[in-house]
């Protein structure tokens, strides 16, 4: 792949992996994300000559050479780190699977099972919409790319998210048997702000990363600066 000329290189900020929300000192809420999509985007981005930064939840993936990685755990930590870094970047690709809920009250001590019928009620509250917060702060000065993982009505739900958050692009994934996590091939739908949709069937995340960056570059280089 031909690298981008240095004077035209993008400064790309990517979120990757899951976030985790503590319940007590040893337990937490999370999801099945392994961070593969975000790290594939980072790998493709740095190969193109872009300045590439990743804010990553807990994963077991070695960072690509040339990519600066900032590790975080919770959704709030991810929000704060992205907010701090986005000021010096041109584009945010929000590939992280941010945990949608957190415990309203975190126990300071380990919750003990005292018998077979021990039961606890866990009250959950929603975590903040990171992408919406960042878009609201930075407006149209950056390119914002979101991801939408849906079990049904994939296109409709993704279009609603695109419009609601006023994104430049959204990548939609259907949840199929076994889920979209790891290195499995999956269907991808990339929709832009004008609601133009491009669909890709059963492609790798490496290929999806390249196709997504093609669209991001097209938006940026055609955009007045």
Where in the sequence numbering do the catalytic residues fall? 31
In terms of residues, how long is the chain? 225
Comparing CA positions, the residue from 66, 81, 89, 65 lying closest to residue 16 is 81
**Helix (H) or strand (E) run with residue 218 in it:** helix 205-221
Single out the residue of 18, 148, 38, 173 nearest to residue 92, CA to CA. 38
* Angle, helix 75-86 to helix 130-138, in steps of 10 degrees: 20
State both tokens at 64.
């690509």
* Phi-psi group of 153: left, alpha or beta (phi > 0 → left; psi -120 to 50 → alpha; rest → beta): left
Distances (CA, A) of 220 to 13, 24, 90, 215, 223: 14, 44, 9, 9, 5
């Amino acid at each position: 792949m031909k690298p981008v000329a240095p004077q035209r290189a993008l400064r790309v900020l990517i979120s990757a992996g899951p976030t985790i929300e503590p319940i007590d000192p040893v337990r937490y809420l999370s999801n099945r994300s392994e961070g593969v999509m975000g790290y594939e985007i980072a790998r493709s981005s740095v190969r193109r000559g872009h300045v590439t930064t990743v804010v990553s939840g807990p994963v077991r993936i070695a960072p690509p050479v040339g990519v600066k990685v900032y590790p975080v755990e919770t959704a709030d930590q991810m929000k704060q780190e992205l907010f701090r870094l986005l000021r010096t970047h041109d584009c945010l690709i929000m590939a992280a699977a941010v945990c949608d809920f957190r415990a309203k009250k975190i126990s300071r001590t380990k919750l003990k099972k005292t018998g077979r019928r021990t039961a606890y009620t866990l009250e959950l509250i929603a975590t903040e919409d990171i992408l919406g917060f960042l878009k609201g702060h930075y407006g149209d000065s950056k390119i914002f790319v979101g991801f939408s993982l849906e079990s049904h009505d994939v296109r409709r739900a993704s279009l609603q998210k695109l419009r609601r958050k006023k994104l430049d692009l959204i990548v939609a994934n259907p949840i199929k048997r076994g889920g979209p996590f790891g290195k499995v091939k999956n269907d991808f739908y990339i929709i832009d702000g004008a609601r133009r949709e491009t669909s890709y069937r059963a492609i790798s995340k490496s290929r999806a990363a390249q196709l997504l960056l093609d669209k991001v570059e097209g938006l940026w280089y055609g955009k007045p600066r």
